[in-house]
Amino acid sequence: MRIKFCGAAREVTGSQHLLMVGNKQILLDCGLNQGKREEAIKKNRDFLFDPKKIDAVVLSHAHIDHSGNLPNLVKQGFGGPIYCTSATADLSYYMLLDSAYIQEQDARYLAKHRIRQVGMRGPLYTTQHAQKAIEQLTPIKYGEEIELNRQMSLRFLDAGHVLGSAISLLTIKQKEGDYRLVYTGDLGRKGLPILRDPEVVKQADFLITESTYGNKEHIPVENIEKELQQVIKDTAKKGGKIIIPAFSLERTQELIYHLELLFEKKKIPSLPVFVDSPLAINLTEVFRKHPECYDKELQEEFTNNRKNPFGFGRIKYVTDVQHSKKLNALIGPAIIISASGMCENGRIRHHLANNIEDPRNTILIVGFMAEETLGRKLVEKRKVVRIFGKFC
């Protein structure tokens, strides 16, 4: 048995780990690298293995830094199954098509403006490649053991990170006996709302785990709502807007849930809330379809009280571009949640460009920001940032 780390080793994005047992090759995740543009283009385009020789992919969850290079893998010859949970398959449908659309739009923009990017030769992949990858998604249930080949079997446990996220338990048969390799993917925290806590793995011979927050202590769960409440109250008092760059998957749904509770308890002023991300809207629909992934408290709310945890009356979902542009002319306090989470593309860049220079407004960062992204520059509180070629 051999393991080759092809991404997300000494960096956060671009998860790809190649497991080789005999003549079989299993790829654990196939994510997009995000960061310095020219470096990311090269890493995403050129795999450190032959895609045609991969027998199967095990997908831990639908986040783009774990799933986003699957269409390119298919484009370069991979034709095997992509094992994941049912919720991950449903989420990946939207995530991969959205990613392909962004790849195509970026390539068109660069060609139109005759901008050269090192290593850029048209889009990384197209909608057709994403569609093909989606067709190869093979859902399996939590706890169900399936045979990958004569030497390997796979079972999923709940990772508690995002809807459908899974810890992969791989049993590997060798002459000297069986080994268990555990790949955690990204792990969730205990006690957070919406999802079940991550399951505990009782035994492993080999462990591949993430360490994004390995040297940091998270703020207590009970403080999250208090901090959100304070930011909203302070900004509203100044007459400003709260602009929140948020990942379309999980972070947006968490924010909606917390905001609903704060409004319900009358702990924040009655502000309009806009979710300006077509992808987030589609993904929130997937959340509604999978109550089996909810924690006990939310499951009871959803089934017993027939309450929709992601659809309170104050929220306005923005789908079309014209409505999105109208938010620029919005007068008075409001909350705008938009993607992408790291501020590298999507409608959030327009909201930042239109609001970042007004001292009454607050840009609220609620997730991890990779190095060299616009989001990281905001976290670092750089005095000047560049958005759409303009220095703000």
N- to C-terminal Cα separation, the chain:
52
- In CATH, what number does 2-208 get? 3.60.15.10
Instruction: Provide the residue type at 45 as one letter.
Output: R
CB 11 within 8 A of CB 31: no
pLDDT given for residue 173 in this prediction: 93
Preceding omega of 86 cis (within 30 degrees of 0): no
194-203: pLDDT as tens digits: 899 999 999 9
pLDDT of 147-184, one tens digit each?
999 999 999 999 999 999 999 999 999 888 999 999 99
Q: How far is Cα 383 from Cα 381, in angstroms, rounded to an integer?
A: 6
For residue 228 the two structure tokens come to: 């959100």
pLDDT of residue 314: 77
* CATH 3.40.50.10890 domain locations along the chain: 221-391
The answer on pLDDT for 358 being more than 90 is yes
pLDDT band at 116 (very low <50, low <70, confident <90, very high): low
Other beta carbons less than 10 A from residue 371's beta carbon: 13
pLDDT of residue 150: 93
Spatial separation of the C-alpha atoms in residues 377 and 392, rounded to whole Å: 12
77-88 per-position pLDDT tens digit: 999 999 999 999
Q: How far apart (Å, rounded) are the C-alpha atoms in residues 51 and 79?
A: 9
Residue 55 in tokens? 């027998």
Q: Would you say 244 and 339 are in contact if contact means Cβ atoms under 8 Å apart?
A: no
Q: Which of 3.90.76.10, 3.40.50.10890, 3.40.50.10800, 3.40.50.620 would CATH assign to domain 221-391? A: 3.40.50.10890
Reported as a single tens digit per residue, the pLDDT across 33-73 is 987 778 888 999 999 999 999 999 999 999 999 999 999 99
Tell me the β-bridge partners of 153: 147, 171
Domain with CATH 3.60.15.10 in the chain: 2-208
Average pLDDT, the chain: 91
Averaged over 222-234, what is the pLDDT?
92
